[in-house]
Amino acid sequence: MLEIKNLHVSLEEEDKQILKGVDLTVEAGKVHAIMGPNGSGKSTLSYVLSGRDGYVVTEGEATLNGEDLLEMEPEERAAAGVFLAFQYPVEIPGVGNMTFLRTAVNAQRKARGEEEMSAAEFLKVIREKAKDLKIDADMLKRPVNVGFSGGEKKRNEILQMAMLEPKMCILDETDSGLDVDAMKLVAEGVNALRDEGRGFLVITHYQRLLDHIKPDVVHIMANGRIVKTGGPELALEVEQNGYADILAEVA
Amino acid sequence: MANPAAKLDPLAARIAGLSTPDGAGWANEVRGDALSRLSAMGLPRKRDEYWKYSDPTTLNQPEAPRAGLFVTDEAMPFSDVDRLKIVFVDGVFDADASDDLSLEGVEVERLSDALARDIHWARDLFGVLETRGQTPVERPLAALNTAFATDGVVIRATGKAAKPISLIYLHKSETSDAILHHLVKVEEGASVTVLENGPAAARFSKCMEVEVADGGQFHHVRAQGRDHERRASTHMFARLGAGSVYKSFTLTVNGVLTRNEQVVEITGDNAVAHIAGAALGDAASGAFHHDDTVFVTHDAVDCESRQVFKKVLRNGAEGVFQGKIIVKPHAQKTDGYQLSQALLLDEDSSFQAKPELEIYADDVQCSHGSTTGAIDEEALFYLRSRGVSHGEATDLLVLAFLAEAIDEIEDETLREDILTRLQGWLDRHRG
Ligand SMILES: Nc1ncnc2c1ncn2[C@@H]1O[C@H](COP(=O)(O)OP(=O)(O)O)[C@@H](O)[C@H]1O
Ligand SMILES: [Mg+2]
């Protein structure tokens, strides 16, 4: 599904290399986790995959089901099936959460040549999914993420993911700042979407989230590279010993 | 005043082609006085304090610069609103195109008919508020309007006007130079909504004097557009009695030069004045310069005023806001608010603001703010990452930016109508 080969990325504004040859393949139906110290390039990878400005790909490639992602505009990547749950969801005053989501759902459907969702159908579906995530009607009406608590913002990301039904879900530290209950809600939201045809890339610092979202593969990222790949046990090792041992071992 | 003689020649040239219409004795006097005021002031000059950001040259020159006619098959603003239509073509009343002027709750007449009568309520209003509005800042183009306006309507609301009065300004001659003067008197407890739309002329001068008596309500929604080459200088002069309400909203799209002045004087306690505007210009489809110049004077206790002006500028479009809140010494408990903001969609566009407060009372709450900003790139990326196209995402952010101004339109039908215009403009002017 998602294939990243030898990806090198620098900042546009300054001459600084962030990703130094990332190789990663996420198969459909699988959950891959990426762990790694702060500043290792995890968020950068998620941004580059979703098409944020400010980065230059100097080498390598990234494809989704064979399609070159790096050539596409952010909205084209979204229509192709890429979804990023932001580490820091953006507040947008003046744009209603519902308006935003309906515009997004229909824009993607239109881009894929599918029929748009009617207002009534949309309302029915979103109410259902919001309920599962304990998002109340008031939150749906408010401007996007404005005045939301940290946990509410993260749940709102998962709601968007549930509505958009992407093929490749990238979650960037969706667990950070969540209490145990909120984390369970988020994990349930993610697990409900687990499907044969869908891949997940879950970026996290903690084993905790991975107790709820069982990963198939765990990668350790450090200094712009995937330095170690293993099974779920790798996450446990990080939880117990930190990154020091692993980094020393691969250095 | 500094040497007015030096300014006389351009003025003489400006008014040489204009003739003073004939009316009743008092009306002729008012016009004569206006001409004297104008002669004393001279035409506005670039170096005048409130003309620093807008060039009055083309408003001053003897003939209106040619403005090509703009043809569109889009329905006119307010088409779906049940209203009393009064049509002016290049500044001349068109009786055939207009509705019958009778309407429950309100008396409507043509200006020339009112000014021909020896006894008429218009005598207490015509030129009166314009004269008051000349201090503390001179507005020569308004005096010129009073002196030479040939047409217009006078409206007196005696009860609740049964429907909005819709002034429609059609532009059919490329060289028309129109001068309209309207008078609106809202009697105690009465209410009326006045709508204005249309390009009016190649060059348009419009003055509206609005007196709102105690407990009266005046609502005004205006849609200026879509002609690109038109020029306009408009003035709204208002005086508000106790417990009265004055709410004015203007949408402007396109226009090579638009100067909208509003001068509102609050003289009765507990009155409310809200003045708002949204202006959108894309200089890629013709030069765009839009200037809102607004003065609100609080001369009574416990009154509220709001100024909310937003501009969306693209491809070298220019926006200007000059706004002042004046609070007289005894105008305690004044709640004054002023906001002017520009959203620049590129680096070629510009916004100049001159926000001012002049407060002589001590127990007041006044705030003002002015910002110039670009589209929030983080927000734009967030929206696009969910599949919303660049254009549509920009529209959402532009509409969000304009919301506070648009929300000032109380009536839902009118607000929806204005939003339709806005959306149409956005669709036609994608980045
Ligand atoms: N836009 C940017 N400007 C400057 N430095 C950046 C930018 N984006 C990322 N970086 C730098 O790149 C490195 C990796 O950051 P990031 O991808 O956020 O790491 P992680 O998510 O793993 O903590 C850090 O050193 C960070 O400071
Ligand atoms: Mg990060």
- What mean pLDDT value characterizes chain B? 96
The answer to whether the beta carbons of residues A60 and A5 sit under 8 Å apart is yes
Interface of A with B (CB under 8 A): 50-53, 73-75, 77-79, 83-84, 86, 89-95, 99-101, 103-105, 107-108, 111, 143-144, 160, 164
Residue B402 located in a structural domain: no
CA-based nearest residue to B337, from B405, B287, B396: B405
Average pLDDT over residues B181-192: 98
Residue B404 located in a structural domain: no
**pLDDT given at position B1:** 45
CA-based nearest residue to B368, from B388, B386, B389, B354: B354
Q: What is the ipTM of this complex?
A: 0.96
Residue B384 located in a structural domain: no
Average pLDDT over residues B274-286: 96
Cis peptide before B226 (omega within 30 of 0): yes
Residue B45 located in a structural domain: yes
> In angstroms, how far is the first alpha carbon of chain B from the final one?
48
- Counting atoms of ligand 1 from 1, which one is nearest the CA of A45? 17
More confident residue, A242 or B380: B380
User: Cα A162–A164–A169 angle (5° rounding)?
Assistant: 75
Euclidean distance between CA atoms B141 and B146, whole angstroms: 9
Of A50, A75, A143, Cβ closest to residue B390: A75
Euclidean distance between CA atoms B319 and B292, whole angstroms: 8
pLDDT, tens only, B243-270 = 999 999 999 999 999 999 999 999 999 9
| Ligand 1, pocket residues at CB < 6 Å | A 11, 18, 36, 38-44, 54
Euclidean distance between CA atoms B61 and B367, whole angstroms: 38
> Is B380 within 8 Å of chain A by CB?
no
**pLDDT given at position A181:** 87
Largest CA distance in chain A: 57
pLDDT, tens only, B200-232 = 999 999 999 999 999 999 999 999 999 999 999
How far, in Å, are A51, A74, B252 from residue B385 at the CA level? 8, 5, 32
DSSP state of A72: S
Strand partners, B236: B208, B262
Euclidean distance between CA atoms B264 and B249, whole angstroms: 14
Instruction: Return the number of other C-beta atoms located less than 10 Å from residue A146's C-beta.
Output: 14
Tokens of B71: 């043809």
pLDDT, tens only, A161-204 = 999 999 999 999 998 888 888 898 889 999 999 999 999 999 99
DSSP state of B160: B
pLDDT, tens only, B387-411 = 999 999 999 999 999 999 999 999 9
Name chain B contacts of A46, Cβ cutoff 8 Å: none
Nearest-Cα distance to chain A for B378, in Å, is: 7
Euclidean distance between CA atoms B38 and B144, whole angstroms: 6
Strand partners, B371: B341
Domains and CATH numbers, chain A: 1-29+44-71 (no CATH), 74-168 (3.40.50.300)
**pLDDT given at position A246:** 84
Euclidean distance between CA atoms B324 and B431, whole angstroms: 34
**pLDDT given at position B115:** 96
Residue A119 pLDDT greater than 70, yes or no: yes
pLDDT, tens only, B339-392 = 999 999 999 999 999 999 999 999 999 999 999 999 999 999 999 999 999 999
User: Which band of pLDDT confidence, cut at 50, 70 and 90, is reported for residue B271?
Assistant: very high
Residue B400 located in a structural domain: no
Tokens of B223: 């849609």
Taking the CA atoms of chain A, what radius of gyration do you get in angstroms?
18
Q: Please give the tally of structural domains in chain B.
A: 1
Q: Choosing among B371, B380, B385, B426, which should be mutated to test the A contact, i.e. which has the most A CBs within 10 A?
A: B385
pTM of the model: 0.93
Euclidean distance between CA atoms B114 and B102, whole angstroms: 15
User: Which band of pLDDT confidence, cut at 50, 70 and 90, is reported for residue B4?
Assistant: low
- Buried-state track B410-424, b at ≥16 Cβ within 10 A, e below 16: ebeebbebbeebbeb
Residue B394 located in a structural domain: no
**pLDDT given at position B330:** 97
Euclidean distance between CA atoms A149 and A153, whole angstroms: 6
Name chain A contacts of B388, Cβ cutoff 8 Å: 75, 100, 103-104, 107
User: Cα A134–A140–A146 angle (5° rounding)?
Assistant: 105
Torsion angles phi and psi, residue A68, rounded to 5: -70, 105
Segment 382-411 of chain B within 8 Å of chain A by CB? 382-390, 392-393, 396-397, 399-401, 403
The pairing of strands A17-26 and B84-89 is unpaired
**Burial class (CB within 10 angstroms; exposed 0-12, middle 13-18, buried 19+) of A122:** middle
Residue A69 pLDDT greater than 50, yes or no: yes
Percent of chain B with pLDDT strictly greater than 70:
98
SS3 helix, strand, coil % of chain A, rounded to 5?
40, 30, 30
Tokens of B359: 């407060």
Percent of chain B with pLDDT strictly greater than 90:
94
> B195 is in which domain, residue-wise?
4-375
User: Which band of pLDDT confidence, cut at 50, 70 and 90, is reported for residue B21?
Assistant: confident
Residue B416 located in a structural domain: no
Residue B100 located in a structural domain: yes
Strand partners, B178: B204
- What mean pLDDT value characterizes chain A? 93
